Copies of this chain bind each other. A is one copy, B any other.
Amino acid sequence: MVKQARYFWILVFFLLSCEQWVLPTDPSPDPIEVFDRLWEDVNDRYSFFSHKAIDWEQVRETYRARVSDDMGQLELYELLADMLFELRDGHVNLSTGFNRSRNWDWYQEFPVNYDENLIEQEYLGTDYWISGPLLHQVLDEVLYVNYRSFAQRISESNLQVVVERAKRSRGVIIDVRNNGGGNLSNAELLASAFAEEEMEYARQRIKSGPGPEEFGPWEPMVLNPWEEGTFTGLVVVLTNRRSYSATSFFAQMMKTLPNALLLGDQTGGGGGTPVFGELPNGWTYRFSATQTVDLENRQLEDGVLVDLRLDLDPAAMQRGEDNLIEAAISLLRR
């Protein structure tokens, strides 16, 4: 009987020796290993190589030669940040605790078109309403709504009051300039309050394998009218180049609605949903892993174009006026 027990000791030792075989230890945190991991993961999962005509193999050749295992963490960070900069994508970041790399070319080369101090002093005033993240004020019988980040959650009761005030007005201005994005569900909720019927506003696909063109199928993105009641009067959405990510999606939703139009400058883009990753030295990163196109197959990554192109006029600002808001008011009062 005890002899049979030997089978078991063999089994126990076998199982314990499996550890290294089933679960090999973590990869080395040496710069070369870190570089290769990052390059390879971007190569496998990044979604815009062909759209942006980026030769990632060529990028590897350029940067790989500059990596060595005796370089410092700061040098390595700068090298990797430079490499990721080539993706020309605001949804690409490398986070190290001491610094976070980014590519903000999509707004830094363009006019700002937004002055928060001016809006607070001349438009919102002191008695505007605060419904969660939605700041709103009635201007010349028009409801002006300022929303600064889609990362701030809109509750149903926040939205309810905006819809109710909208119904008592001659139209709505939604100001999402400088709104850098956040949660798509907030964008869908806000847009749903102005949608008369269900409609497809974009299509999205996701990387499904390491090949450069390995994507899942195009899935429709659909906007449903808000069940609590909607405002179907005229809406003007103000955007600038710093309207990014979820804000681009919001702009696209509103652009699809027959009762809304976009005014200002095109959005900055951000049409790919970022996926996250980790490097063997503990740094984390993210980059786009999906593609989104509008109904004409134009990539949202390139920004959503406005219906009416208008920049902030320094002369108007000097007079204490935001000429985008003024233009929206006169459009709605017409």
Contacts and interface: CB of A to CB of B under 8 A. Distances in A.
Nearest to A102: B130
Interface in A59-116: 97-100, 102, 104, 108, 112, 115-116
Nearest to A103: B126
Contacts of A155: 97
A155 B97 CA distance: 8
Interface in A143-192: 155, 157-158, 160-161
A155 B284 CA distance: 15
A115 B118 CA distance: 11
A276 interface: no
Contacts of A297: none
Given A115-B117, A116-B116, A117-B115, A129 B161 contact: no
Interface string A279-322: 00000000000000000000000000000000000000000000
A166 to B, nearest CB: 13
A43 interface: no
Contacts of A99: 129-131, 161
Contact of A98 (B104, B112, B117, B131): B131
A97 B157 contact: yes
A157 B98 contact: yes
A97 B130 contact: no
Nearest to A132: B97
Contacts of A126: 104, 108
A168 to B, nearest CB: 12
A117 to B, nearest CB: 6
Given A112-B117, A115-B117, A100 B130 contact: yes
A131 B97 contact: yes
Given A112-B117, A117-B112, A161 B130 contact: no
A104 B117 CA distance: 15
Contacts of A160: 97-98
Contacts of A157: 97-98
Nearest to A121: B112
A129 B97 contact: no
A285 to B, nearest CB: 14
Nearest to A117: B112
Contacts of A116: 116
A116 B97 CA distance: 24
Closest 10 CB pairs of A and B: A97-B157, A98-B161, A100-B130, A99-B129, A98-B131, A112-B117, A108-B126, A99-B130, A99-B131, A98-B157
22 contacts: A97-B131, A97-B155, A97-B157, A97-B158, A97-B160, A97-B161, A98-B129, A98-B131, A98-B157, A98-B158, A98-B160, A98-B161, A99-B129, A99-B130, A99-B131, A99-B161, A100-B130, A100-B131, A102-B130, A104-B126, A108-B126, A115-B117
Given A97-B132, A99-B130, A100-B131, 19 more contacts: A97-B131, A97-B155, A97-B157, A97-B160, A97-B161, A98-B129, A98-B131, A98-B157, A98-B158, A98-B160, A98-B161, A99-B131, A99-B161, A100-B130, A102-B130, A104-B126, A108-B126, A112-B117, A116-B116
